[in-house]
Amino acid sequence: MKKISQFILVLFSVFMFSCGEKNNNTEQTQEQIETFEPIEWTMVTTWPKGFPGLGSGAEDLARLIGELSNGRLTVKVYGANELVPALQVFDEVSSGSVQMGHGAAYYWKGKMPAASFFCAVPFGLSPDEMDGWLLKGGGWELWKELYAPHNVIPFPGGNTGMQMGGWFKKEINSIDDFQGLKMRIPGLGGEVFKRVGGNPELIAGGEIFSALDMGRIDAAEFVGPYNDLAFGFYKAAKYYYYPGWQEPGPTLEAIVNKQAYEALPADLQEIVKTASLRINNEMHAEFTEKNSQALKILVEEHGVIVKKFPQDVLDKLKQESEALLKEMSETDELSMRIYQSYSEFKARSNEWKKISGSL
C-alpha cells in the first residue's frame, strides 16, 4: 500500500511539473508574439487602386493578413501605376523590389506561355473546377514549379467567375466579322482571336475605356457586368456579348517573393496562404452576387444590348483553342505536364458534370 501511495505521488509530481512547463512555454510563446517586431510588406497590383472586386480584393487580402497576424505582418497596397506599371508587377516581385503582388497569371505568358493555364483557358475549367484542379488535382504544385525559376511563389487569390465575351461597337454575325477587328483581349483568348483574323491587344484595365472610346480599339473584354459597369464601357459600345469563352473560370493570383516568404516564421507563412485562399472564395461570392445586379442596370438603365455569339462562331473559336493548347504543350517538358494534368482533370470533371450539371 505504501509503495502504491509513493507511486501515485511520483505521478502527481510529474504531472504538475509538465503542466508548469506547458504554462511556461505558452507564456514564453505569447511573450515572443507580443514583442515580435512587425514585418512590413509592399504589395503592387495590376488593378486600379480600390477598384470594385479586383482592387478591393487585393485590399481585403492585405487587411486580412494584418488581422490574422495580430499586426505582426502588415501589407501596404499600391494600385496599378501608383508604384509600378500594371504589367510590371511580376518583375517587381521576382526581383525582390516588393514582397507581394496581385494580378492574373496570363499577363505573364510572354515569359511563360504555360502561365495562362493557371488563370484562364478558353473553353476550359469553371471556377469550381479550377479550385479542384489547383488545390486537389496537382495544379498548384505545377504552378509553383513554373514560377520557381523566377523566385516567385503563387497562391490562388480570387476568381471573378464566368466572364462576358466582351463589348463590341458592331454586331457579330459570323466569324468573318472578326477579320481585322482590334480588340482588347489578353491571354490565350487573345491568341485564339488572332488565329481567326482579329488583332488582339493587351491593355491594362484602367486604360481600356479611353482606348475603346477614342477608337483605338473596336471591342474589348474585361470581366463582367460588375466591373464593366464601374468602368463605364456602355458609353463606348452598346453590344455586350456572351458567353465568356475566353475566360470561363479565371483564377487570380497573389504572388510572393520567395526570399521574403521563407524569411517569415512558419505561422505567418500559413497566414499568408490561408488569407489568400479565403479571398479566393470571397471574391467569387462577391462577383456572383454583384454581376446580376449590374447586368440589370446595364440593360434597364443604359440600354445595353446583350447578345449571344452565334454557335458557328463559338465552334470555330473552340476548334482553334484546342489546336493552340496542343501546340503549347509541345514547347517544353513542363508545359506538356501542365497541359496533361489540366486536360485529364477536365476530362474527369466533364463526366461528373453530365450528372451534376444545372437542372
Residue-by-residue DSSP string for 231-246: HTGGGT--EEEE--TT
Whether residue 133 sits in one domain with residue 67 = yes
pLDDT band at 1 (very low <50, low <70, confident <90, very high): very low
The number of domains in the chain is: 2
Query: Mean pLDDT lowest for which of 11-20, 111-120, 126-135, 264-273?
Result: 11-20
- Judging by DSSP bridges, how do beta strands 39-45 and 100-103 pair with one another? parallel
Predicted pLDDT of residue 205: 86
Whether residue 175 sits in one domain with residue 80 = no
Phi, psi dihedral angles at 73 (to 5 degrees): -130, 115
Select from 157, 156, 238, 223 the least CA-distant residue to 189: 223
Whether residue 56 sits in one domain with residue 115 = yes
pLDDT mean over 162-166: 97
pLDDT band at 35 (very low <50, low <70, confident <90, very high): low
Whole-number percent of the chain with pLDDT over 90: 84
Q: What is the pLDDT of residues 281-339, one digit of tens each?
A: 999 999 999 999 999 999 999 999 999 999 999 999 999 999 999 999 999 999 999 99
Predicted pLDDT of residue 354: 86
Phi, psi dihedral angles at 168 (to 5 degrees): -130, 145
How far apart are alpha carbons 268 and 290 in whole angstroms?
Answer: 32
Q: Is the pLDDT of residue 194 over 50?
A: yes
Predicted pLDDT of residue 9: 39
Q: Is the pLDDT of residue 24 over 90?
A: no
3-state secondary structure of 202: coil
Whether residue 110 sits in one domain with residue 42 = yes
CATH number for the domain harbouring residue 178: 3.40.190.10
Residue 12 lies in a domain: no
Q: Is the pLDDT of residue 11 over 90?
A: no
pLDDT band at 16 (very low <50, low <70, confident <90, very high): very low
Whether residue 284 sits in one domain with residue 324 = no
For 331, the grid coordinates are 514547347
Residue 25 lies in a domain: no
Whether residue 243 sits in one domain with residue 253 = no
Q: What is the pLDDT of residues 95-114, one digit of tens each?
A: 999 999 999 999 999 999 99
Q: What is the pTM of this model?
A: 0.86
Whether residue 322 sits in one domain with residue 278 = no
Predicted pLDDT of residue 14: 37
Predicted pLDDT of residue 34: 55
Q: Is the pLDDT of residue 233 over 50?
A: yes
Predicted pLDDT of residue 50: 86
- Which of 270, 288, 306 marks a domain boundary? 288
Tell me the β-bridge partners of 359.
none
More confident residue, 225 or 26: 225
Residue 1 lies in a domain: no
CB atoms within 10 A of CB 191: 22
Query: Mean pLDDT lowest for which of 12-21, 177-186, 242-251, 304-313?
Result: 12-21
CATH number for the domain harbouring residue 268: 3.40.190.170
Whether residue 313 sits in one domain with residue 209 = yes
- Which of 229, 258, 288 marks a domain boundary? 288
Burial (CB < 10 A; 0-12, 13-18, 19+), residue 31, is exposed
Residue 29 lies in a domain: no
Tell me the β-bridge partners of 101.
44, 255
Whole-number percent of the chain with pLDDT over 70: 89
Whether residue 304 sits in one domain with residue 264 = no
Whether residue 317 sits in one domain with residue 242 = yes
Predicted pLDDT of residue 255: 98
pLDDT mean over 203-228: 95
Whether residue 331 sits in one domain with residue 232 = yes
Containing structural domain, residue 185: 166-248+295-356
Q: Is the pLDDT of residue 31 over 60?
A: no
Tell whether the torsion through CA atoms of 155, 158, 160 and 161 is positive or negative: positive
